[in-house]
Amino acid sequence: MEALDDERTVQLQVEVLKSLWNRMLELFRRRGWSEEEGLRMVLAAGLASLEADDRLKDTSLSNDAEGLVRELARLDSEYSAMKYMAFKLAEANKALQIKISGLKASEEAWQRWAEKVRAELSRLRGKDRDP
């Protein structure tokens, strides 16, 4: 995923009023989001909305165009959330690929060991038959 190659995550810590946090938790619950997912969506949607407002202030758009800009902001926030999910899934995929490689190497080692044990067992059984 070339679009995500330059992406990194940052961790945020902010203080908010309890009443605002409770409103956010209620929104997350209604939307079926975890706290982390909800925070990401609220940040992305808020950013997209503020950027749309800036675009509207910078131009003299008709009402139809204003609606389009707001729709663009909504879609941008959804894209942001999906991009983050794609980034996290790509990271998880890399980790799984590494684990798969390790498991394959381990399986091959166990297969070689099993062959040695079978050969030794066969050799020992052959000795038992010899007078």
pLDDT in tens, 10-63: 888 888 888 889 999 999 999 898 998 889 888 888 887 778 777 766 665 556
Query: Using 50, 70 and 90 to split pLDDT, how confident is the model at 126?
Result: confident
pLDDT confidence of residue 131:
58
Question: Looking at residue 25, what is its pLDDT?
Answer: 95
pTM above 0.75, yes or no: no
The DSSP line for 49-73 is HHHHHHHHHHS---HHHHHHHHHHH
99 has pLDDT over 90: yes
Residue 87 is classified by DSSP as: H
pLDDT of residue 114: 96
Predicted local distance difference test score (pLDDT) of residue 22: 93
Give mean pLDDT, residues 120-131.
80
CA distances, 116 to each of 105, 113, 125 (Å): 17, 5, 14
Nearest-CA neighbor of 33 among 78, 94, 91? 78
Does the CA dihedral 64-67-71-77 come out positive or negative?
Answer: positive
What does the block give as tokens for 23? 């409103």
Most confident of 88-97, 109-118, 119-128: 109-118
**pLDDT on residue 116:** 95
Mean pLDDT of the region 93-109? 93
Q: Please state, in angstroms and rounded to a whole number, the distance separating the CA atoms of residues 104 and 97.
A: 10
Task: Report the alpha-carbon distance of residue 45 to residue 73 in Å, rounded.
Answer: 7
